[in-house]
Amino acid sequence: MAFLDYRMELSLSDQARQLALQLPRGYNPKSQALIEAWQAQGLTGRTLVDRALTYFREEAFYYTLRPPRLGVDSVDDFLFNTRRGFCEHYASAFVVMMRLAGVPARVVTGYQGAELNALGNYWIVRQRDAHAWAEVWLPERGWMRVDPTAAVAPERVERGIGAALPLAERPVTTWDGAFLRPLAQAWDLANTQWNRWVLGYDHDRQRSLLSRLHPLLTTLQGMLWAILVGVGGLLAILFWGLIPRNRAVHGDELAQLYERFRTRLRRAGITSGDTEGPLDLARRIRQSHPELANDVAAITVDYVAMRYGHPVDGGTARLRARIRRFRP
């Protein structure tokens, strides 16, 4: 919201006026002579402000981020010789001109312009959006904003610094393209969320996040209950993960029967590894213990058919009976 008719400090104290008119003595004689010539024409107050802006607008001033070096009388050198600079040059030169004319003035710095990040619905203010302008104090008006840069390079104010710079000073690469802009905004959003929820995560943000999950989590009692439930759930998951082998042996009837078969083989001195399949075990027994080959083969065929093939009615009962009779 903007208050365009707002009046700030309609009365100025002596101390504030003195600060807003302070200048070093003995500098910038050409600027002093220019102001005196305007005053001789009867220009004062607002008309003097307008005349200074017209001077910037009509003379050959240029906006650049690579201004030449200025001499001891820096404002004289800027107004009458180099005439090249960026917003700080124009704002400071304008303030000196106003103070030479007895008009209270000051330089104001801040930011002008920003970019809306549509993905996160927030504004991005970059260092390149930094800007300097001026304020002058006029009777019955108070402090009034004046931007002399707009008189020289209005595109700086309307479209940003990139539009005001000469072609040689504009960046070679830009993120303003239709394809690159969404990528840049997505990266900025990720970086912003990291700064907000990781680097800037504090007690207030913790309470805000917990309140979104459940209002009770914002209280100490609610947080304790949540911790107990979370720890209990974690222990249950860990316990469940520690017993898959026993569950498979005791809960799977086929696995239980085959394990009983392997136990009887171990009692007879025939061991098998966990990576040895049923068919491989049967072939090895046929070579090492041919007297057991037929019974082992019958048990193996039934088990493999039931486990990996198509189970048939009565197959499990038949396998159980074969293993019960198998006593090597």
Q: What is the CATH number of the domain that holds 108?
A: 3.10.620.30
Are residues 280 and 139 part of one domain?
A: no
Are residues 135 and 28 part of one domain?
A: yes
Are residues 254 and 133 part of one domain?
A: no
Task: Tell me what percent of the residues of the chain surpass a pLDDT of 90.
Answer: 29
Are residues 42 and 139 part of one domain?
A: yes
What is the dihedral sign for C-alpha 313, 316, 318, 319? positive
Model pLDDT, residue 293: 86
- Collect all residues with Cβ–Cβ distance below 8 Å to 65 and sequence separation of at least 6: 86, 161, 165, 169
Are residues 164 and 19 part of one domain?
A: yes
Are residues 250 and 162 part of one domain?
A: no
69 phi and psi angles, rounded to 5 deg: -70, 140
- Has residue 34 got a pLDDT over 90? yes
Q: What is the mean pLDDT of residues 13-27?
A: 93
Domain end residue (candidates: 169, 193, 216): 169
Model pLDDT, residue 35: 95
Which residues are annotated as catalytic? 87, 131, 147
Higher pLDDT, 222 or 124: 124
Q: What is the mean pLDDT of residues 1-24?
A: 81
Are residues 138 and 29 part of one domain?
A: yes
* Residue closest to 326 by CA, chosen among 302, 294, 304: 294
Domain count for the chain, please give it: 2
User: How confident is residue 9, by pLDDT bands cut at 50, 70 and 90?
Assistant: confident
Q: What is the mean pLDDT of residues 74-83?
A: 94
For 234-271, the pLDDT digits (tens) are 888 888 776 644 434 334 888 898 889 889 888 888 88
Higher pLDDT, 108 or 236: 108
- Has residue 178 got a pLDDT over 60? no
Domain end residue (candidates: 139, 169, 199): 169
Identify whether 132 is part of a domain: yes
Are residues 37 and 155 part of one domain?
A: yes
Higher pLDDT, 308 or 207: 308
User: What distance lies between CA 239 and its chain's CA centroid?
Assistant: 39
Domain coverage including residue 87: 14-169
Are residues 248 and 151 part of one domain?
A: no
Tokens of 191: 């970086």
Domain end residue (candidates: 169, 188, 209): 169
Identify whether 225 is part of a domain: no
Identify whether 55 is part of a domain: yes
User: How confident is residue 182, by pLDDT bands cut at 50, 70 and 90?
Assistant: confident
**Separation between Cα atoms, residue 119 and residue 213, nearest integer Å:** 23
Identify whether 238 is part of a domain: no
Which range is least confidently modeled, 39-48, 208-217, 271-280, 289-298? Answer: 208-217
CA dist list (Å): 39 to 25, 27, 153: 20, 19, 26
User: How confident is residue 6, by pLDDT bands cut at 50, 70 and 90?
Assistant: low
CA dist list (Å): 290 to 64, 258, 285, 294: 99, 20, 7, 8
Q: What is the mean pLDDT of residues 143-158?
A: 79
- Has residue 216 got a pLDDT over 80? no
User: How confident is residue 275, by pLDDT bands cut at 50, 70 and 90?
Assistant: confident
Model pLDDT, residue 176: 56
Give the global pTM.
Answer: 0.55
What is the per-residue DSSP string for 120-168? TTEEE--GGGEEEEEEEEETTTEEEEE-HHHHH-HHHHHH-HHHHS-GG
Model pLDDT, residue 163: 54
Model pLDDT, residue 51: 95
Identify whether 250 is part of a domain: yes
| Highest mean pLDDT of the ranges 59-63, 110-114, 159-163, 187-191 | 59-63
Using DSSP, state whether 112 is helix, strand or coil: coil
User: How confident is residue 189, by pLDDT bands cut at 50, 70 and 90?
Assistant: confident
Q: Are 119 and 193 in contact (CB under 8 A)?
A: no
Q: Are 103 and 136 in contact (CB under 8 A)?
A: yes
Are residues 286 and 150 part of one domain?
A: no
- Has residue 80 got a pLDDT over 50? yes
- Collect all residues with Cβ–Cβ distance below 8 Å to 197 and sequence separation of at least 6: 205
**Separation between Cα atoms, residue 81 and residue 101, nearest integer Å:** 21
Identify whether 45 is part of a domain: yes
How much is the mean pLDDT over the chain? 82
Model pLDDT, residue 118: 80
Are residues 147 and 253 part of one domain?
A: no
Are residues 161 and 48 part of one domain?
A: yes
